[in-house]
Amino acid sequence: MKYYDDLRSFIDALDAMGDIMHVTREVDCDFEPSAITRRSYEIQSPAPLFHHITGVESGFRLFGAPASLSSRSDMPYARVAMSLGLAPESTGLEIVEALSAARHKPGIPPVRVESAAAPCQQNILRGEDATLDRFPIPFAHDKDGGRYANTWGTLIVKTPDGKWVNWSIARVMKVDGKRMVGLIVPSQHIGQIWAEWVKIGEPMPYALVQGPAPAISCVSGIPIPAHADEADYIGTLAGAPVEVVKAVSIDLDVPATAEIVIEGHVSITRDCQEGPYGEYGGYLGSGSSAQPTFHVETITYRDDPIWPMSITGRPTDESHTLWAMGLAADALTYLREAELPVKAAWIPEDSTVHLLLIVMPENWRELLPGVSSEELSQRIGEVLFKTSAMVFIPKVYVVDDDFDPTNLREVVWVLSTRVHPVGRRAVFEDQRVIRLPQCYEEEEYVAGKGAKVVFDTLQTTRHLHASFEQGYPQEVRQRILDNW
């Protein structure tokens, strides 16, 4: 296992294992990099690294699909695992367990280094020179409202009293060289912090960090409890503190090895239209909304900077790998804290984060004497739907551990044969609904309320599978394998 403390060493490691596609011809910055990245997701090719982009300074690069499925079929989750300092051959369930386990360990706070030792401040642009027009920011999809300046970068903000620092990912659209507009959801942590600045009538300082250490990007995109610092959690995963440096123009610390840092302030009103944007559910966007303006005041960057991007859409991209694993880890953590003997939690990539599998061990009835499967499903829903992260999950399936939940073929088989057509489900009415999940009606989005459901698929008696593994004597299977 190795922790990569900057994006470049991570890319080099992927390259060494054949998981980088070098695009050396010149590409048009409008749509080509995004379209190439989107196709790389859909055919599971190596991650594209673009070396020559029309209209930008020589040496500026783009990097697509940083945490999608690997092109290596023997280690499909290698990009996510390596980002987090885990072995490239780690399974999806092992990654979820690692993310959950780190929640119960002491955080390791970041350590500040001097500016001279911070690669992210090798070049400093101020005033009118600090313009986004210098950087390769493509359109993600042709129906989007603009070029998206943030799809895989980390937004850093803190409360006015300085007690809570939040590192997160939120989509941010370029308006012009000096302005961006970002989606600020009130219930999300960045929305809660922005509201505190609005209360005191002052614009919120922000830093938008492109290309930090891969673990920073990953943790910025997963749920951890409010008022917990992502930087400390990343230090736990890395086993060492994250090196940070004081931003040039605002009172925030930023990752020292980042590729690019954009500094400025966020308006106190929703004064600019953001969107539409093609989101993780797999559909092109069709609407926009008023959101706060991110004013660009200072930009710092490394020599020959690399701008990473995630082009969301149909499976499989970062929202279906890393984000889904983070949500599963969050669910696993809360259910175990509620003393429910859950064996695993998993969100299949192809579900686009619309369903969650809760896997129970074969002896769960012994561990919960007197509890029926219906009561267990009700309890699971009561725990999960109180958590903020589960606002994204409309459907939960409680399943046995007699199949591989990460194997989509087996998931389809189990859900098709074990979900009752009308019964054995716990329905939770009037749950909080936001627009990102695709399965609700317009009136539910307007009301902000809708139903969520937990399906009970647990077998009263375990049935043997009509399979090679369970349908024949062991000595017959072994003889066949020996002569295969």
The answer to whether residue 355 scores a pLDDT higher than 80 is yes
At position 300, the amino acid (one-letter code) is T
Q: What is the mean pLDDT of residues 193-221?
A: 98
Active site residue 374: no
The answer to whether residue 228 scores a pLDDT higher than 90 is no
CA distance 475 to 484: 14
92-102 vs 230-238: helix crossing angle, rounded to 10: 120
Helix (H, G, I), strand (E, B) or coil at 248: coil
Whether 338-456 and 86-308 are alike in CATH topology: the answer is no
Q: Contact at 8 Å (CB) between 174 and 128?
A: no
Q: What is the pLDDT of residue 227?
A: 83
pLDDT in tens, 232-271: 999 999 999 999 999 999 999 999 999 999 999 999 999 9
Residue 187 banded pLDDT, cuts 50, 70, 90: confident
Q: What is the pLDDT of residue 411?
A: 98
Domain ranges of the chain: 86-308, 338-456
Q: Which two tokens stand for residue 375?
A: 């009561």
Could you give phi then psi for residue 195, rounded to 5 degrees?
Answer: -60, -35
Residue 286 banded pLDDT, cuts 50, 70, 90: confident
The answer to whether residue 36 scores a pLDDT higher than 80 is yes
Q: What is the pLDDT of residue 53?
A: 97
The answer to whether residue 301 scores a pLDDT higher than 80 is yes
CA distance 128 to 156: 23
Helix (H) or strand (E) holding 35: helix 32-43
Q: Average pLDDT, whole number, for the chain?
A: 96
Q: Which two tokens stand for residue 116?
A: 């001279």
* Catalytic hit among 230, 263, 274, 279: 279
Q: What is the pLDDT of residue 239?
A: 93
CA distance 79 to 47: 9
Q: How many of the other CB atoms lie within 10 Å of CB of 481?
A: 9
CA distance 177 to 133: 5
The CATH number for 338-456, chosen from 3.40.1670.10, 3.30.2130.10, 3.40.50.1000, 1.10.1660.10, is 3.40.1670.10
Whole-Å CA distances, 317 to 65, 68, 209, 262, 309: 7, 5, 20, 25, 11
Pick from 300, 353, 297, 301: nearest CA to 324: 353
Tokens 């401040």 map to which residue? 121
Query: Taking phi first (over 0 means left), then psi (-120 to 50 degrees means alpha), and beta for anything else, what does residue 400 get?
Result: beta
Whole-Å CA distances, 213 to 11, 132, 135, 256, 465: 11, 22, 20, 9, 45
CA distance 290 to 117: 40
Per DSSP, what are the bridge partners of residue 295? 179, 265
Q: What is the pLDDT of residue 347?
A: 98
CA distance 154 to 138: 18
The answer to whether residue 1 scores a pLDDT higher than 80 is no
Q: What is the mean pLDDT of residues 104-125?
A: 95
Whole-Å CA distances, 250 to 203, 208, 224, 366: 12, 12, 25, 57
Q: Contact at 8 Å (CB) between 246 and 112?
A: yes
Query: Taking phi first (over 0 means left), then psi (-120 to 50 degrees means alpha), and beta for anything else, what does residue 339 get?
Result: left
Q: What is the pLDDT of residue 372?
A: 97
Q: What is the pLDDT of residue 225?
A: 86
Q: What is the pLDDT of residue 226?
A: 81
Per DSSP, what are the bridge partners of residue 50? 23, 62
pLDDT in tens, 148-176: 999 999 999 999 999 999 999 999 999 99
Q: Contact at 8 Å (CB) between 363 and 354?
A: no
Superfamily of domain covering 86-308: Electron Transport, Fmn-binding Protein; Chain A (2.30.110.10)
Pick from 205, 189, 185, 187: nearest CA to 197: 205
Pair type for strands 165-168 and 172-176? unpaired
CA distance 121 to 141: 31
Residue 289 banded pLDDT, cuts 50, 70, 90: very high
